Each structure stands twice: as structure tokens, then as C-alpha cells.
Amino acid sequence: MKILVTGGAGYIGSTTAKALEESGHTPVILDSLLSGPRVFVKDRIFYEGDIADRDLVARVAEEHPDIEATIHMAARIVVPESVEQPYEYYRDNVAKSLELFDQLVKVGKPRVLFSSSASLYATVENFEVDELAPLDPASPYARTKQMMEMVLTDIAAATDLRAIILRYFNPIGSDPDLESGIYVREPSHVLGQLVMAARGQKDAFTITGTEHPTRDGTGIRDYIHVWDLARAHVKAVESFDRVLATVDAPSTIINVGTGDGVTVRELVKSFEIVFGASVPLKEAPPRPGDAVGAFANVDKARDVLGWTSSLTIEDAITSALAWGKKRQEILGYD
Ligand SMILES: NC(=O)c1ccc[n+]([C@@H]2O[C@H](COP(=O)([O-])OP(=O)(O)OC[C@H]3O[C@@H](n4cnc5c(N)ncnc54)[C@H](O)[C@@H]3O)[C@@H](O)[C@H]2O)c1
């Protein structure tokens, strides 16, 4: 199958493109390179441009009439930036996605897989959330994802568009061949910070928030190996029509996580075992907007999508550390 991947130069998009290739499919990348590096596109079929450029989307469809589905990952994704620049986030993630969806329907490419986020969920008592759990998106970024879920649901109900919405939990690690991974210069997420502290690029790893109502007071997340996440997309495009027939609806939402909640202290412990040395730690109060967290109930992914994660958190940490060493060679910066 040929699959259009918007945002295919990004962290998850480039890994998903590779997972598609490994399953015998051909990704067609559409990316503006707003943030994704050109080197991640490699020798793939690539259109450099904006998702809201209707002429470009029409040209892609004309040049690749055999595209079976679109994985729409292109977005702005930095939470604190979304607080400072809401206009850019609503414009790019909401208004531009609307143009893309409408154009995809017009050019006869109605199957859409959408990257949503676990950051939509409200905190619940035991931290496990299924797709019907209450939502409380805490940032403009998360609200753009919630809006797009509503938009897709409504457009699917009214037009030929069909949508599978994947709510990703916390992707970590890199592709197994170390050709892509986290590319931001100073990663703000927890594993990136740990890798930097372990490699001496920072003096310590700071645990932000130690009085949360979790088993050890630190935040809880569901860390999923990005390669498992990429494989979930392959499964979803391969079984797109069957999934929607199973739920008997024109659109559906599926959690993509491991089903295991891991606290920050537990993550640090696993990291130290894999790394083989302890990491200097500091503790600090939670940052504004820091959520206690959640982990996925993955029953629907297993029963409807036919997918479960298979890699461990240690696999993901090993892969992140290996990428930390390798990325200078690929990106030209450490
Ligand atoms: N990384 C995470 O932790 C996480 C968690 C949940 C959901 N997601 C979602 O997954 C998707 C991919 O995330 P990622 O981590 O790979 O991010 P990323 O920033 O690495 O990739 C996004 C890509 O989209 C491109 N892009 C942005 N705006 C564009 C536009 N208007 N037209 C064309 N291309 C555009 C960027 O150049 C970039 O290559 C995003 O939709 C994100 O919201 C990510």
C-alpha cells in the first residue's frame, strides 16, 4: 500500500515511515520541515510543503493515485510554546488540518489516521484511562488535539471521510537501526533529560513534583517505545476498514500505550540499571501545568485494532541511549 504521511520528517513520522517500509508499504511524505530535519526524509518520496496547500495535496494525489490512506502527524507540538503562541498553534494544528481533511475528501482520499494525545485526559483516581474517560486538556496544544478529534468525528459523520484517531501516550526511544530519533537540541521530556544528565551534558536530572498522589509521589506516565507506536500505525492502515466495521462507526478513538503506569522514580531506576551507573538527582516542585499523569487502558487497541506493545521500557531506554551517542553523526549536532 502507498500511504501519505504528513509530518513524515518528524520524530514519530520518520519512524512510522520506516515501519511502513519494513511491512512492504510505500510512504509518501508531506512535510514543511518546520521542525523535522531533512535528513530524516532520506530517499523517500517527499513533497516539501504545507498541509494547507490544497494545490500541493491535489498534486500528491494525482501523482500517487494509489495512496490508500493518510496518516496525519504534521503539527506544532511544544506545550509551553503553545501557551505563548496560541494563534500559531490553533492556525497550524486546527485551521490547516481542516483544509487538509476537506481537500483529502475532495481528491478521493477519505481514510485518515490522526495523531492525538493522552494529554487530553483528566486525572482519574487510579490513573488508568480508557477512551471514554473524562477529558481536561491543560494547554492550547492539547486543546488543538481535542478540537481535531471533534472535527474529525463531525466530518466523518457527514462526509465520506473515515477516521481512526490514535491517542498516543508517551513515546520514547528511537528506530531500531538508529537512523532517526529525538532531534531537538535540548529535549525537554523526561528521558531526554535523563540521557543528558547521564552523559554529563547537565549536572543533574531534576524530578519535578514529588508530592503527587501516586505510589512514590512522582508523576506517572505510560512510556511506549516509538517503534511499537510506529507498528500500531502499520496495523491501523492495514486493517482500517475492518476496524471501523467492527465499531460500526465512521470514526473511532483508540489509546496507544503499553497499559503500564511508570512513575518518574521508577523510570530513573530502570534507566540506572540499563545505563549501569547512577544519575545525579535533584528534586523540585512541579512546573506550572505539570499533570500527575495517566496510563492507558489498552483493551480497545488489543480487541479492535489487534495490536499490543511488545517492547519493554528497558528496550526503549537502551535505544534512547544508543541514539544519544549516534545522533551527532546523523544530525551534525550533539
Ligand atoms: N512526541 C510526543 O510525545 C507526542 C505525543 C502525543 C502525540 N503526538 C503527536 O504526534 C505527531 C508527531 O509528533 P512528533 O513528536 O513526531 O513531532 P515532530 O515535531 O517531530 O513532527 C511533526 C512534523 O510536522 C511537520 N509540520 C508541522 N507543521 C506542518 C505543516 N503545517 N505542514 C507540513 N508539515 C508540518 C514538522 O516539520 C515536523 O516534521 C504530532 O501530531 C504530535 O502532536 C506526539
Return the residue whose CA atom lies nearest to atom 30 of ligand 1. Answer: 50
**Three-state SS string across 78-111, please?**
CHHHHHHCHHHHHHHHHHHHHHHHHHHHHCCCCE
User: Which of 141, 168, 183, 223 does the annotation list as catalytic?
Assistant: 141
Q: In this structure, what C-alpha cell is assigned to residue 194? A: 535523563
Model pLDDT, residue 187: 82
Q: In this structure, what C-alpha cell is assigned to residue 119? A: 494529554
Q: Ligand 1 centre from 175 Cα, in Å? A: 16
- Which burial class, exposed, middle or buried, applies to 7 when counting CB atoms under 10 A from its CB (0-12, 13-18, 19+)? buried
Q: Ligand 1 centre from 92 Cα, in Å? A: 11
- Ligand 1 pocket test, pick from 15, 35, 81, 89 with the greatest ligand atom count within 8 Å of Cβ, gives 35
> Mean pLDDT per 10-residue run, the chain (334 residues)?
98 98 98 98 96 98 98 96 96 98 98 98 96 96 98 98 98 95 88 89 93 96 98 98 98 98 97 95 86 96 98 96 92 88
Q: Counting atoms of ligand 1 from 1, which one is nearest the CA of 49?
A: 33
Q: Ligand 1 centre from 72 Cα, in Å? A: 9
Model pLDDT, residue 134: 98
Q: Write out residues with Cβ below 6 Å of ligand 1.
A: 6-7, 9-13, 31-36, 50-51, 73-75, 77, 92, 96, 115, 117, 168, 170-171
Decide if 89 is catalytic. Answer: no
Model pLDDT, residue 104: 98
Displacement of CA 302 from its chain's centroid (Å): 19
Could you tell me the CA-to-CA distances from 175 to 12, 83, 221 in Å, in that order? Answer: 9, 30, 21
Displacement of CA 328 from its chain's centroid (Å): 23
Q: Counting atoms of ligand 1 from 1, which one is nearest the CA of 36?
A: 39
Q: Ligand 1 centre from 35 Cα, in Å? A: 8
